[in-house]
Amino acid sequence: MSTELHLRLGSRVLQVGTAPDENGIAATVDGSAHHVRVLARSGSAPVAGASVEELALEVDGRPHRALVARLRDRVLVALAGRVYAFETGEAATTSGDRGGRSGTVVAPMPGKVVAVMVALGDTVEAGQPVIVLEAMKMETTLVAEVPGRVTALGALAGTTVDAGAVLVTIAPPA
Amino acid sequence: MQRVLIANRGEIAVRVARACHEVGLAAVAVYSEADRGASHTLAADAAIPIGGAPARESYLNIEALLAAARAGGADAVHPGYGFLAESAAFARAVEAAGLVWIGPPPAAIATMGDKLAARAAVEVAGVPCVPGTELAPGDARAATRHASRLGYPVLVKAAAGGGGKGMRTVGSEAELAEALAAAGREAEAAFGDGRVYLEKLLVRPRHVEVQVLGDRHGTLVHLGERECSIQRRHQKIIEETPSPAVTPRVRTELVGAALAAARAVGYVNAGTVEFLLDADGRFYFLEMNTRVQVEHPITELVTGVDIVAAQLGIAAGRPLGFTQADVVPRGHAIEARLYAEDPAASFFPSAGPILALREPAGPGIRVDSGVSAGSVVPLEYDPLLGKISAWGADRASAAARLGAALRETAVLGPTTNLAFLQDVLAHPAFLRGETHTGFLAEHFPAWRERADDALAAALVAAVAASRPLATAGDTPAAAPTPWETLGPWRLGR
């Protein structure tokens, strides 16, 4: 009946184990022991593809009230005015810091490319503006995270791009 | 006046619908294809589709709005804020269609909507203005000359602008050309008018504004000031009244200047005169917003005046019903704007379905919300989800109440600024009242969300994950887990 779960929060991976005991749940987080009691729990309902519920529980005697939304590979927890977006499944166990600098400039959300400020073959500095993207009537300037040479351009000015689209690829200097 | 078409969306459309119902008027909502079933359509007595998701096809489409007014049997139009609220052309079209325009006279909108005409009008009335100059389109050399005469830093602003769109700060000559181009593009896209002008940028000014209300019978009153210095991208996120920096002497001069500015254009209905206030108590006219403001609730909380209901009464031709002497502000109020945006990524807008939502409650707390669980935050519009305001007997208690209310609030789905707002409210400089328009850049240059309760949150996630994922066919509680079937829970201690 005990379960093991890997939860990635940013660059951190938490290993959570749970097993029922006579008073609730005996839990471990990264090896340290904690006690959890579920005080109240709403029925889980589907909302826009997520499984949503409200949970009240005690952790080591302290009460918490949370809203939880579960998606296929993510669990979102709203607790005490903050949101914790945990990645679960295979994504969570991959080690390494995802906050690392990348040679690709990616559209953070769908929008319209207003300006492409570099050309193929250009040498760019880290922090140099490369793309102006417009979404929700706001312009945002995307910058190169690494210095290097522009080896690919994924969008033309005036085109609409999806979130995650690779707009500029930069090869670091050899 | 019986039936009001609300030419807007989101929380302000909900606010106007409530006011209509409170004074016995019917409300007709409009919606674009992106807003089918949105909160504001459910708050009204009827809802009429007006076109495609892009605002140009719907909320900025005068023909579609007038057709909706006819179809909905409306005899008046409330524009809310944003979209066409400050369009003299829309106000004139509404009046030409024989409908009541719930706003100021179109001529006043036109004058105040043109930054340069507005400056000219209020300067004549003796209202101080920030040094600045108009730019001829495309004349980069003149722009450079004017900018160096004013002295850097300068501000590039859209002549037709508002809400920070088409505005750029320029620190040196090297940045000027790009800023002019970007501001012109943004202004053209947002207002269909790419003209820009230059203004001297004051150092660490506060943004202070005065709410005015005037009827058609010659009564014009002010409802005190609001300070809105906490801004990102030149858009306000936290506002309060009264301003911690405005002394009784400055207040007397400030409200006098606001009333003079309003009188200079024959102002009627609700409006807001915005000023920059420097460290020495000198203030300069910025612009007049000829509509209801996003942050009007805090003025309502301290004065007890219902500004939206007053707008309806004034438009119907009724006298205001009170005088300046009747306006006695009480206590302090602070508003926080809840935006779907990522404060850790340059406040970039976020969109998508709201999976779960919990709004705060309690003494002195007011929520003006435009969304609910299951509603979708569209990409096409300003990502304001709602506003949470707190009243307290003094500034410290209002700030404490608002902080607690935000801690109670929960939004799952789009990334929001909820945690950021709490960190700003708790900042020692904010609590000391040391606010200015560069506050966020100075104190929060690279904000990252803290994970204070990561342990408890991880345990919540683990408990939640012990239950199978709900699917569309599930009924609540259809899938009990071992935790629920283990026997009686001991509640309490």
- The enclosing domain of A122 has a CATH number of 2.40.50.100
Residue B376 lies in a domain: yes
Note the pTM of the prediction, 2 decimals.
0.83
B256 and B184 share one domain: no
* Contact assignment for A81 to B412 by CB distance below 8 Å: no
Average pLDDT value over all residues in chain A: 86
User: Above 50 in pLDDT, residue A97?
Assistant: no
Q: Are residues A86 and A132 in the same domain?
A: no
Q: How confident is the model over B427-431, as a mean pLDDT?
A: 98
Looking at the structure of chain A, the number of domains it has is: 2
Write down which residue in A34, A60, A93 finishes a domain: A93
Q: Taking residues B125-149, report their average pLDDT.
A: 88
Count of domains for chain B: 3
Contact B419 A110 (CB under 8 A): no
- Residues on chain A touching B474 (C-beta within 8 angstroms): 44-46
- CA distances to A31, B43, B492 from A27, rounded to whole Å, are 9, 45, 20
Q: Which residues contact B96 (CB under 8 A, 6 or more apart)?
A: none
> Is there a single domain that holds both residue B146 and residue B98?
no
Amino acid at B270: A
Name every chain B residue with its beta carbon within 8 A of the beta carbon of A49.
353
Mean local confidence (pLDDT), A75-82: 97
CATH number of the domain residue B178 falls in: 3.30.1490.20
Residues B46 and B148 in one domain: no
pLDDT in tens, B289-308: 999 999 999 999 999 999 99
Identify the closest residue of chain A to B492 by CA–CA distance: A39
Task: State the best of B463, B475, B490 to mutate against chain A, taking most chain A CBs within 10 Å.
Answer: B463
Q: Are residues A117 and A70 in the same domain?
A: no
Contact at 8 Å (CB) between B453 and A81? Answer: no
A66 and A131 inside one domain: no
Give pLDDT, residue B483: 46
Q: Are A66 and A32 contained in the same domain?
A: yes
Nearest Cβ partner for B458 among A16, A82, A108: A16
Specify if B482 maps to a domain.
no
Q: What percent of chain A has pLDDT over 70?
A: 91
pLDDT tens for B46-91 read: 999 999 999 999 999 999 999 999 999 999 999 999 999 999 999 9
A152 touches B: beta carbon within 8 Å: no
* DSSP code string of B392-405: ESSHHHHHHHHHHH
Q: In terms of domains, do A43 and A85 share one?
A: yes
Confidence bin at B471 (pLDDT 50/70/90) = low
pLDDT at residue A136 tops 80: no
Q: Tell me, yes or no, whether A99 lies in a domain.
A: no
Domain holding B89: CATH number? 3.40.50.20
Q: In the predicted model, is pLDDT for residue B18 greater than 70?
A: yes
**Last residue in a domain, options A62, A93, A124:** A93
One domain, residues B146 and B47: no
Same domain, yes or no: B260 and B368:
yes
Nearest CA in chain B to A37: B489
What pLDDT, on the 0 to 100 scale, is given for residue B67? 98
Give the domain range for residue A20. Answer: 3-93
B355 to chain A, closest Cα gap in Å: 6
- Residues of A with CB below 8 A from B237's CB? none
Identify the closest residue of chain B to A82 by CA–CA distance. Answer: B419
Q: Which residue of B has its CA nearest to A15?
A: B458
| Chain B residues close to A3, C-beta within 8 Å | 462, 465-466
Tell me: do A87 and A37 sit in the same domain. yes
Q: B437-454 pLDDT, tens per residue?
A: 999 999 999 999 888 899
Note whether A53 contacts B: Cβ–Cβ < 8 A: yes
The domain of B275 spans 206-443
Q: Position B488: which residue type? A: P
Residues B296 and B345 in one domain: yes
Find, in chain A, the residue whose alpha carbon is nearest to that of B358: A67
In this complex, do A78 and B411 lie within 8 Å of one another by their Cβ atoms?
yes
Count the residues in chain A: 174
A78 in the same domain as A16: yes
CA distances from B330 to B302, B304, B391 (A): 5, 9, 9
Q: Which two tokens stand for residue A50?
A: 């997520």
Query: In degrees rounded to 5, what are phi and psi of residue B220?
Result: -135, 120
- Separation of alpha carbons B187 and B158, rounded Å: 6
pLDDT at A33: 96
Test mutation, A14, A35, A44, chain B, max B CBs within 10 A: A44
**Alpha-carbon torsion angle B176, B181, B187, B188, nearest 10:** 160
Whether B217 shows a pLDDT value over 80: the answer reads yes
Residues B137, B277, single domain; the answer is: no
Q: What is the pLDDT of residues A14-29, one digit of tens each?
A: 999 999 998 899 999 9
CA angle B412-B415-B421, nearest 5°? Answer: 100
Question: What are the chain A neighbours of B345 within 8 Å (beta carbons)?
Answer: 108
Q: Are residues A66 and A137 in the same domain?
A: no
HSE-CB at B48 with a 13 A cutoff on CA atoms is 22
Q: Are residues B346 and B410 in the same domain?
A: yes
The reply to whether B223 and B266 lie within a common domain is yes
Structure tokens at B59: 């909320």
Q: Tell me chain A's radius of gyration from C-alpha atoms.
A: 22
* Residue A90: per-residue pLDDT: 64
Residue after which a domain boundary falls, among B425, B443, B461:
B443
